[in-house]
Structures are given as C-alpha cells and as structure tokens.
Structure 1
Amino acid sequence: MNDIGYFSLLLAFMAAAYGGVTSVVGARARNPQMIASGAHGVLATFGLLTLSSIVLIYHLYTGNFQVEYVASYTSSTLPEFYRVTAMWAGQKGSLLLWVWTLALFALVVHLTNRDRNQTLIPYVHAVMMSVVLFFIALLIFMADPFELLPFVPAEGRGLNPVLQMPLMIIHPPILYQGYVGTVVPFAFAIAALITGELGDTWIRTIRRWTLYAWFFLGFGLMLGGRWAYVELGWGGYWAWDPVENAALMPWLTITAFLHSVMIQEKKGMLKIWNFILIILTFGLVYFGTFLTRSGVVSSVHSFTTSGIGPMFLGFVIVSMVLSFGLLISRRNALKARSELDSFVSRESSFLLNNLALVGVCFAILWGTIFPVLSEAVSGEKITVSAPYFNQINVPLGIFLLFLTGAGPLFAWRKTSVQSLKRHFTIPIACFLATAAILLAFGIRHVYAVLSFSMCAFVVGAIGLEFYRGARARRSTNEESWPAAFYRLVMSYKRRYGGYVVHIAIVLLFVGFTGKAFDREENFAVREGESFQIKNYTLDFDSLTETNMGEYVSYAGMLRLSVDGEPVVMMAPEKRLYPIQDQVTSEVSIWSTVNEDLYVVLAELNETLDVATFKVYINPLVNWVWIGTALLMLGTIILFLPDRFGRKSGTRERPA
C-alpha cells in the first residue's frame, strides 16, 4: 500500500511535466490534438495525486506507525477523526494536501474553459503544472510522506494538543484554498502576457477566482484568530506573528487588485499595475510559505526547521524574475487608454486605496523580515513587536476605513461641488456626532475616537446608498421597502454585495477598536475564596482533577455572578499530555455583545491548594466574529450568478 502512494507521486510528476510541456508545444504548433493531450496530462495528475492522498489518509486512519509521518502526528489514543485531519498537521502531509488542491483547481479550470479562452488555456495549464511539479519534487526528494522507519514503534507521538480542536480541523484547508487559489489568477496573467492577449478577457475570467482566493485568505485568517483566542490562552486573537503576517500580506495585495481592476474595466487604466498586483500576490504567498516552513522565524504557527525553506525562496526568486521580465517586455502594449481627469473622482479614491493597502503590506513585510535581516547582517536578531506594527498600520487602517465609505460617493472622472455636498453631508454629520458623543462620555483615546467616528461615517455613506437605491425602486416599481431592498441587492450584486462587505469591514473595525479598552488582572485564590473585576464576581468553588486517558485535566470551578446575580459556572482548565510532555490551557469565556469575560487558569502551586487565575475583559471583541459572518454573506452575494434573483430584462450595471 505504501508503495502505491509513493509511485503515484512519481507518476504524477511525469504526468504534470507531460501536461505542461505538451500544452505549450501544442499551442506553439497550433496543434489541437497536442493541446488536448496536454489537458489529459492535467487530468492524470489530479487522479494520481488523489490516489496518493488516499493512501496517506489510510495509513493515518489505521495507525501504521512504521510510516514516519503517521508515527510523528498520531497515536493509538488519538480520536479517529483527528487521525485523518493529521494529514495537514505536519510538513509532509500539508504539502501533499496543497499540491492535491492545486491539481484540483487545474482540473476545474480545464472543465470550465473547454469552450472558451482557447488561446490562453494551454499556457494556463503550463503555469499551473509548473507549480505542481515544484511541489511534487519537494515531496519526492525532500519531504516524502511515505518514508518508512527501520522499525515499528509501539506508540506514535500523537497530535499537538493545541491542534486538537474543531477550528483547527477546518482552518488549514480553508487557508490553503486561499493560498492555492492565487495560482489561478497568476496563471491567467502570465498566459495573457505570453500570448499578447492583454485586453479584459483574462480579467473577466479570473474575477470569481480572485474573489475565491480573497475570501478564503481572509476567512482563514479570521478562523486562525478565533483559534488563537479560544485555545492559546493569552486573551487576544492577533499578535502580528510572522506567520499571521505572511497570510495577511497577499490578502492586502489581492484586495488592492479587486479595487484597481474596476478602473481598468471602466477607464482602461492601471493595466501594468494590475499585473504587478497579481504577480506580487503570488510571490507573497510563496514567500510567506518560505517563512512558515524554513524555521527562520519563531512562531506558534510555523512548522519545524527543514531544508525545504531555501527551495521556496529560490522558487519565489525565479518566478518573480521571470514574471516581471515578461511584464517589462510587454510594457509598450499595456499603455492606458485614458488618464486621470480629476483628483476628486472615484478613480482617485481607488488609487489612494491601492497605495494605502500596498503601504500597509510593505510595512508588515519590513517588520516581518527585519529580524531575519538583522541577524544575517549583525548576528543579532532584533525583534519587531506589536508597537511598530500598530504605530504604522493603525492610522493607515483608519484612512482605508475612510476610503471604504468615501470611495462610492465620488463620481467617475470628476465629482462636482454640488455632488460632494449632496453625498457627504450626512456621512460627515454622522462622523461629527459620534465623535462628540464619545468625547462627552469621557473617551480620550485619539485613535479609538477616530476609528469609531469613521465607522459611523462609513455606515452613513453606505446606508445612504442603500436608501437612495431602494427609494428609486419603490418610486418606479411600487415595491415595499423590504422587497425594494432585496431586489436592489439582487439586481446589482457586484455593487451592493461590495457594500455589504464594506459594512462587514466596519464591524471588524469596531471589534478591533475595542482592543484599546482591554483590561487584565491576576488573582491567586484558595478554594472558597472569591475575587472581583468590574461588575463580575467569581467564587472559587473547587479544583477538580480528572484522568481523561490522553490527558489529565485540572479544572478550576468558578461560580460567576454579574451585578450580584448568579449566572453560570465557569471551568478554565490546565491539561497535561503525558505522551507529548506538554501542558495546555483551556479558557472559559462568558460572552455578551458588549464584551467577553475571559478566564485562564494560569498557575497551580505544588500542593494544588492555590490557583492563579488570569482574567481579561475584552470589550467589543464579538463584533470581530459578527463582522466575519457578514463578510461571508457579502461574498456569497458577490458569487451569486448574475441572473439569480433578478427580474427578466434587468441588467446589472458596473459599480
């Protein structure tokens, strides 16, 4: 069985090479039979990688400890479901999942383009198969998931305890959807540059693929934040960790592309810039993978140090040199059809949006790689921590929030003074009223006041857009307000789905801003004693010790009262995992819309009669998760087919 998995990888390598080379040769020779044969190589690659993945999953499920990967990430006491999901717990299995997903996307691209984009598709296949070849080569020569041990261990080392939770079952595959999804827009961009098909065809083709990658990168980031919040026990969800940053950077550049591409569609501008953004997004994905898998940065999310890190760095350098070289060679054919007419226009707001997003990305990139560069140059690693990132990115983030609301209010080409007054009066009034109320209540945190007030500005701006659109429908179609609102969104999904996403961003910023008012305290208590923070009283009833087989649990039973009224029993835990020789914390959280009471069993003394609890008050944190849910809804609207929910004869106008 093990040999089947390994030889499937070897055959997949040959099939991918055949598919890529034959597709290019067929396209150059204008030979449809060769192009079709190359596509068959793509199909064969997917089938062989599927077989290889099934073999590894079988080994994990059955607990074949002679396979080194199985022995490293599973044990006989590990629940069966976690044995299967251990496929993406380590370096080798996650690489196999990555390349299988990439082969699946190549298959979907082939099936959805059988009757269109015939000039581009052979080169798209070639680019995607080149990336597949790189990953399969890593699996064969440097990270063989089917490597056998010279003996059969009596027991495996088990899965890292912090990965044994439902969020970590879905978080890596979802994030990989975003990472791998960026290859498709990149492949179409390179194909367009190679063939000289530099119009809007490739942009229209990749629109949903780009949205797909953007959504799953963002959703994966938020799931990772939720995992850190409930599992790691430090009271937060974002720490500017190098691996978090590695996933955020391509999300920022792909967000910039989704905005700038509208200028190309509408005005024929920023053609070179859009190619640059797609190429940078691809490069940042694999540069981030280099950081994650090389061991050059310290992170709770990173894999162990291995030899594949330099391979990823080399892959990034080669792909960037070739891609930008190709772009430079086509620069004369990518001249804009028009120029910027006025600074006070929608084009200008989108351009400022792009500059701010790329500025944030560069600041994060510099802060992430600076410790590595400082160690390489001086031999001393200089740590760049949260204050650096916050100092630069908080003001840029508030500026981006302003553009989120202001951008749709500007007209294309030029906005008149009358239009500015008509569209900006209500949003500015919302901003000023919110700022005045916050100051009246004694809030003096400058960035918090600016952020909350800007959130009100954006809500006012977007709310005005929804109101005017629904009012226009009511006047022409005699619809009720709910019907007018629904049909407005369904008739112009790209525009109003985007507005829903913008409202989600506002809710995220509300949650982010709550971080300015966090509170943290430690309490060392004995059984029967109580402690208080804010309007919460916690009575320490008892400490329980329970042997759960795979781990030993120590739970502090706390009776929570709010304003003197008993509410719930909280039970933060310490868990000792003997096989891994590891201790983890299981937090207990009491959530409301306004704030979380977040309790950690931080420490136990040797006689187990004194427990130290770390308690956090996290205001508004749940708006981060509410905003994430609304972000999903907005993206679903953007993905809906154009005809869905629209009356016949209605055409969607561009945003």
Structure 2
Amino acid sequence: MHVIGNITIYLAFFLSIYAFIVYIFGINKQDQRFIDSGKGATMGIFILASLSMVLMFVLLGTSQFQFEYVAHYTSSDLPLIYKLAALWAGNAGSLLLWTFFLTMYSAMVTFSKKMKRNPMTPYITSILLLNIMFFYLILSFVTQPFAILENTPVEGRGLNPMLQDPGMVFHPVTLYLGYVGLAVPFAFAIASLIVKNMDAFWIQMTRRWTIIAWAFLTLGNVIGGYWAYTELGWGGYWAWDPVENASFMPWLTVTAYLHSVMIQERKNMLKIWNLSLIILSYALTLFGTFLVRSGVLTSVHAFGETNLGAYFLVFMAFMVILSMYLLMSRYQLIKKDTGQFEAYVSKESSFLINNLILLGGTFAVFWGTVFPLVSEAVRGTKVTVGVPFFNTVMSPILLSLLFLMAICPLIAWQRASFKNIKDNFLIPALISVAVAIVIVVMGVQEAYPVLGFTIITFMILTHLVEFIRGTRARRHVTKEAIPVALFRLMIRSRRRYGGYIVHLGIALIAFGIVGANFDVERMETLAVGETLTIGDYTLTYEQLGQRSDGVNESVFARLAIEKHGRDLGYIYPERIFYLNWEEPSTEVAVRSTLREDLYVVLSGWEEDRRATFQVKINPLVKWIWIGSFVLVLGAVFAIWGGRYGQVNPRYTGPERNVY
C-alpha cells in the first residue's frame, strides 16, 4: 500500500510535467497530436489523484497505523466518519484533497463540451497544470501522505476533540472547493492575456465557475462560523482569527469581481480592474494557505509551524509576478475601445463604489491580519490586533455596502434623473425612516443598531419593489396569475433575480450581525437547586451527572428553563473527556429561536457539585444561518439552467493542425 500510494503521487507529478511540456509544444507548433497527448495526460492525472484519495480513505478507515498520517490523526475508537474526515486534518492529507479538487477542475475544463474546440483550451489547461505541478512537488518531496513509521504503534493519537464535529466533515471541503475553484477563472484570465484576447469572452465563459467558487467560499465561511459557535464555547461565530480572515478576504474580492464584470459586459468598461480583481482573488487563496501552513501567526485553525509556508510564499510570488507582467505588457491593448462613465449618479457608478468599499474592507482585514508580523519585524515585538479593531473598521463598511445594495436594483443605467430617484426610492425611504422612529421609541438609543436596522429595511424594500414591478409589468402583458408571473419572470432572468435573492440573504445575515449589539452575558457559580436570572430567563441548576459514551466520559449539567414564568423544558451543557486527549471538549447547549439564542456553557465544577456556568443571550443569531441559506439558494438559482458561455473567442490563432 505504501508503494502503491507513493506511485500514484510520483507518477502524477511527472505526468503533470509531461502534460505541461506537450501543451507548450502543441501551442508553439500548432500540432494537434501534442494537444491530444496533453489532454490525455490531464485525465490521467485526475485518475491518479482519485486513486490516491481512495487509497488514503481506505488506510484511514481501516486504522493502518503503520502510516504516519493515519497514526497521527486517527485512533481505532474514532467513529468512521471522523476517521475519513481526518484526511483533511493535517498538512499532507489536506494538500492531497486540494490537489484532487485541482485535478478534478482541470479535467472538467479540459473535457467540457464548450471548451472542446476552443483554441484557448491548451493555454488554460497549462496554467492549471502549473498549479498542479506545484502541489504535487509538495506532496512528493516535502509532506508525504503515504509516509510510513519505523515502528508501528499499537494505537493512534486520535483526532483533536474540537475536530470531532459535523463541521469538520463539511467546512474544509466546501472551503477548498471555493479556494481551488478560483484557479479556473484565473487560468482563463491569464490565458486571455497570453493570447491578447481582450474582449469579455473569458468573463462569460467563467461566470458559472466563479459563482460556484464564490458559493462554496460562502458555505465554507458560514459552516466554519456555525461550527465555532456550537463547539468552541466562547459564545460567538466570528473571532477575526487570521485564518478566518484568510478565507474572508478572497470572498470580498470575488464579490467585487462578480459585480464589476457586469459593467464590462454591458459597457465594455473596467477591463483592467476585472483582470486585477481575479488575479488578486487567486493570490489571496495562496496567501491564506501560506498563513495556515507557515505558523507565522497564531490561530486555532492553523496546522502548526512547518516549512511549507516558504514554498507557498515563493509560488505565490512567482504567479503574481507572472500575472502582473502579462497585465502590464498588455496594458495598451486592454485600454483600447474601453467605455467611459457618463454620470456620477448611475448604476455603473454605484457598482464601482461598491467595488471600492469591498476592496477597502479587504485591505482593512489584510492590514489587521499582517500587522503583528509587521510590528515584530519593525519593533521586535508582536502586537496583537484584536476584535475591537475589526469591528470598528468593518461596521461602517458593512452599512455602506448595504446602502449601495439598496440603491443598485432601482437606479438607472448611464444617468439617473431626479424623477427616477424620487419615484424609485421615496416610499422605501419613508417607510425606513418610520421604522427608525419606532426602534428609537422602543428604547434603542445606540446609533449603530438604529442605522443598521434602518438601512436593512430600506434594502429589503427596494428589492421587493423590483420584484413587484417586474411581476406587475409581466402580468400587464401576459395576464398571468401573480405567482405564475413572478415565477416565470425570475426563470427568464435567473442571473438578475438570483442576485437579488443573494442580496436579501445578505440583508438577513446583516440583521443577525446587528443584533449582536444587544447580547447579554453572565458567569455564575451555582449550587444544586440555585437559580440564575439573565434577561427574561430564569435557569435552575438541578443536576450534575456523568455518563459514558463509548470510551469517552461526559460530565453534564441539567438546567430547567423558565421565561416569564412559563416552563420551556431543560438544557444540557456538557464537557466530554476523550481517551486520547488531555483537555476536555466543550459541548455548548443552545436553545434557539428567531428572536434569540439562549447559550449555556458548563465552565467547571467542584466536588460538592457546585458548577460554574457561562450564560449568554444572543439576539437574532438564527437569522445569520437563515440568511446564509437564502444567499446560497440565490447563487444556485442564478446559475442553474442558465445560458452561460454561449460565445466564441475573438482569438482564433493559426488554423493549421489545431482542433
């Protein structure tokens, strides 16, 4: 098994080198035979990557402790699902997963029907092969997933208890699908620069790929937040941890890109901007991987200090320098026939301002993340940038984005008139102001939540107006029933209305985020029978017990819940002691409603059964998870069954012996 596993890695590495070389020969000589050989090699790499994955799953699932990776991250008592999920618990396994997704995407692009006779396919696949070669170089010579131990241990070390959660099954996979997915539009962009094809072809061909990658990035971040909320026991879902920031930054830049490409398609503008955004997004995925694997910053998500960071830093620098060289060398060609803004108050301008704010947010998060490194290099001491900095900087950015999202659907292209603004925004604005007055009357005095809820209301109303107007216009022509007219309206404009659904999802997420301004927290030590009051809740500590869960032991507390004198049942926070781990794991007890979450953590206990509880009331948190579902639903709706890539590239190249 050791030999077979290593053969799949080494053979795929040399096959990726071969595929890259024959593609270059095929491009230079315009010879179909080389191109076909490269395509075959690309499929062969994917098959070998699949075999490596299957083999690794078998080793993990059957507890083959003679393999270093299996012994380090699993144990015989570990449930099968977590044995398999341990594949992405460490460096070697997670990089194998990354490489598998990269080869999968490469094969899908290469053998796509739309790319079958596309003269740019060899260029695109060559760029992807550069990435594949790098990752196989790492797997072959730096961190080997199939390395074996000199002495086989009787038992493995087991999986970190914090990773024994359903979030471990889904969070890394979705995040990697998003990270790796961005390599596809990047490859298209670089290929377009190489062949000097400066029209919107590469954007139209990669729109679906980009939305899919963005949707997976979104899912990865949300699942990670929910995992942290329910597992770590600190009461929050986003701590502005360096690795969290590393996945958030490309999400911001891709969001900006998805908006700005609409300007290029419609107005032939922002060509350099869009190329720069996709290059930046791709570079940030490599930067995030560098942070996770270098150990330069402390993070609960990091893999620990390794020498992998240097390799990723060099590769990232190489790819960025190559990209910027191509971009600058084609600068005059890109600028040719570029459209111009016609007015400051227009949909185009709102999209551009949206991009600038998103990039400002990206820079703020980047600076807050790397500042400890900068301070250590300059002053010799590492200064930590905490949550207050990020919250202070990002709060106005969030509100600004929400306001722009409220304006974008209804503002006119080219030039918005005063009449257009009054007709579209007067009623939503008046209702939003009324909501603000009601909020203040109800006792909310803080400026941020009042402004936040007002803008969110304004945003939701402007989007509803767009749905209503579209449905009304269709009914006027077709005489269809309202539900039928709405459904067919959305189906005929999937991209547009899918985007609106995404915006509504973001509004719901923002609603939950603003609710954090009203959270309440208490920590108190209680004897059995004593009560704790927090907000409208009264919790009575009734029992401290212990039970066995396989080879693990759990200590749990039972607390009765009352609200306004009404019995709401029981809640059971607990701590789990794992056989192969020194520190117990926290299992949070959460009673969740649309209004608020009652969040209880068992922090500690004494021999006399006195127990210490951390109790929080987190208002509106559930809307974050609901909004995330709506957001992803909108992304899926936007790409499902739509017509994408129905274009031909302007570049054709020499026709001799090519496809």
Q: 1:254: how far off? A: 0.5
Superposed CA deviations along residues 462-489 of structure 1, whole A, max 9, x for unmatched, are 1111110001111111111111111111
Q: 1:427: how far off? A: 2.2
Relative to structure 2, which stretch is displaced further, 243-252 or 369-378? 369-378
For residue 351 of structure 1, what is the aligned residue in structure 2?
352
Q: 1:63: how far off? A: 0.6
Matches of 2:76 and 2:278 in 1, distance apart? Answer: 45
For residue 398 of structure 2, what is the aligned residue in structure 1?
397
Q: 1:372: how far off? A: 1.2
* Structure 2 counterparts to residues 533-572 of structure 1, below 5 A: 533-572=534-573
Q: Match for 1:625: what amino acid?
A: W
Superposed CA deviations along residues 4-62 of structure 1, whole A, max 9, x for unmatched, are 01111000001111112211220121111111111111101111111112211111111
For residue 87 of structure 1, what is the aligned residue in structure 2?
87
Q: Match for 1:27: what amino acid?
A: I
Q: Secondary structure at the match of 2:408?
A: helix
Q: 1:198: how far off? A: 1.5
* Structure 2 counterparts to residues 269-288 of structure 1, below 5 A: 269-288=269-288
For residue 165 of structure 1, what is the aligned residue in structure 2?
165
Q: 1:376: how far off? A: 2.1
For residue 370 of structure 1, what is the aligned residue in structure 2?
371
Decide whether the 8 Å contact of 2:218 with 2:632 is kept in 1. Answer: no
Decide whether the 8 Å contact of 2:5 with 2:55 is kept in 1. Answer: yes
Matches of 1:490 and 1:643 in 2, distance apart? Answer: 12
Matches of 2:643 and 2:150 in 1, distance apart? Answer: 60
Matching of residue 632 in structure 1 with residue 623 in structure 2: no
Matches of 1:157 and 1:196 in 2, distance apart? Answer: 54
Q: 1:113: how far off? A: 4.5
For residue 617 of structure 1, what is the aligned residue in structure 2?
617
Q: 1:115: how far off? A: 5.0
Matches of 1:434 and 1:412 in 2, distance apart? Answer: 29
For residue 206 of structure 2, what is the aligned residue in structure 1?
206
Matches of 1:338 and 1:89 in 2, distance apart? Answer: 48
Matches of 1:312 and 1:449 in 2, distance apart? Answer: 44
* Structure 2 counterparts to residues 439-454 of structure 1, below 5 A: 439-454=440-455
Relative to structure 2, which stretch is displaced further, 54-63 or 591-600? 54-63
Q: Secondary structure at the match of 1:199?
A: coil
Superposed CA deviations along residues 357-396 of structure 1, whole A, max 9, x for unmatched, are 0000000000000001111222211000111111111101
For residue 30 of structure 2, what is the aligned residue in structure 1?
30
Relative to structure 2, which stretch is displaced further, 165-174 or 277-286? 165-174
Q: Match for 2:427: what amino acid?
A: I
Q: Secondary structure at the match of 1:582?
A: coil
For residue 12 of structure 1, what is the aligned residue in structure 2?
12
Q: 1:188: how far off? A: 0.4
For residue 599 of structure 2, what is the aligned residue in structure 1?
598
> RMSD in angstroms over aligned alpha carbons?
1.2
Matches of 1:284 and 1:321 in 2, distance apart? Answer: 14
Matches of 1:539 and 1:198 in 2, distance apart? Answer: 68
For residue 263 of structure 1, what is the aligned residue in structure 2?
263
TM-score, normalization: structure 2? 0.96
Q: Match for 1:630: what amino acid?
A: V
Q: Secondary structure at the match of 1:283?
A: helix
Superposed CA deviations along residues 89-134 of structure 1, whole A, max 9, x for unmatched, are 1111000000001000001101214655622110111111110111
Matches of 2:195 and 2:471 in 1, distance apart? Answer: 45
Matches of 1:608 and 1:125 in 2, distance apart? Answer: 67
* Structure 2 counterparts to residues 177-196 of structure 1, below 5 A: 177-196=177-196
Superposed CA deviations along residues 564-586 of structure 1, whole A, max 9, x for unmatched, are 22222111001122312121110
Decide whether the 8 Å contact of 1:27 with 1:119 is kept in 2. Answer: no
Decide whether the 8 Å contact of 2:498 with 2:637 is kept in 1. Answer: yes
Q: Secondary structure at the match of 1:339?
A: coil
For residue 97 of structure 1, what is the aligned residue in structure 2?
97
Matching of residue 526 in structure 1 with residue 527 in structure 2: yes
| Structure number with higher relative contact order (C-alpha < 8 Å, ≥ 6 residues apart) | 2
User: Kindly, what percent of the aligned residue pairs are identical?
Assistant: 44
Q: Match for 1:537: what amino acid?
A: T
Matches of 2:585 and 2:58 in 1, distance apart? Answer: 29
Decide whether the 8 Å contact of 2:182 with 2:213 is kept in 1. Answer: yes
Q: 1:637: how far off? A: 0.9
Matches of 1:419 and 1:282 in 2, distance apart? Answer: 39
Relative to structure 2, which stretch is displaced further, 444-453 or 270-279? 444-453
Q: Secondary structure at the match of 1:302?
A: coil
Q: Secondary structure at the match of 1:547?
A: strand
Matches of 2:609 and 2:355 in 1, distance apart? Answer: 57
For residue 473 of structure 2, what is the aligned residue in structure 1?
472
Matches of 2:490 and 2:52 in 1, distance apart? Answer: 44
Q: Secondary structure at the match of 2:569?
A: strand
Matches of 2:256 and 2:366 in 1, distance apart? Answer: 16
Superposed CA deviations along residues 383-438 of structure 1, whole A, max 9, x for unmatched, are 00111111111101100100111012221111111111111112211321121111
For residue 54 of structure 1, what is the aligned residue in structure 2?
54
For residue 416 of structure 1, what is the aligned residue in structure 2?
417
Q: Match for 1:533: what amino acid?
A: I
Q: Match for 1:483: what amino acid?
A: V
Decide whether the 8 Å contact of 1:245 with 1:364 is kept in 2. Answer: yes
Decide whether the 8 Å contact of 2:520 with 2:534 is kept in 1. Answer: no
Decide whether the 8 Å contact of 1:19 with 1:38 is kept in 2. Answer: yes
Q: 1:162: how far off? A: 1.0
Matching of residue 290 in structure 1 with residue 294 in structure 2: no
Q: Match for 2:378: what amino acid?
A: V
For residue 642 of structure 1, what is the aligned residue in structure 2?
642
For residue 132 of structure 2, what is the aligned residue in structure 1?
132
Q: Secondary structure at the match of 2:155?
A: coil
Decide whether the 8 Å contact of 1:57 with 1:84 is kept in 2. Answer: yes
Matches of 2:80 and 2:469 in 1, distance apart? Answer: 55
Q: Match for 1:303: what amino acid?
A: F
Q: Secondary structure at the match of 1:409?
A: coil
Matches of 1:62 and 1:640 in 2, distance apart? Answer: 39
Q: Secondary structure at the match of 1:598?
A: strand
Q: Secondary structure at the match of 2:584?
A: strand
Equivalences, count? 643
Q: Match for 1:234: what amino acid?
A: W
Q: Match for 2:500: what amino acid?
A: Y
Decide whether the 8 Å contact of 2:19 with 2:41 is kept in 1. Answer: yes
Decide whether the 8 Å contact of 1:185 with 1:210 is kept in 2. Answer: yes
Matches of 1:346 and 1:172 in 2, distance apart? Answer: 37
Decide whether the 8 Å contact of 1:2 with 1:55 is kept in 2. Answer: no
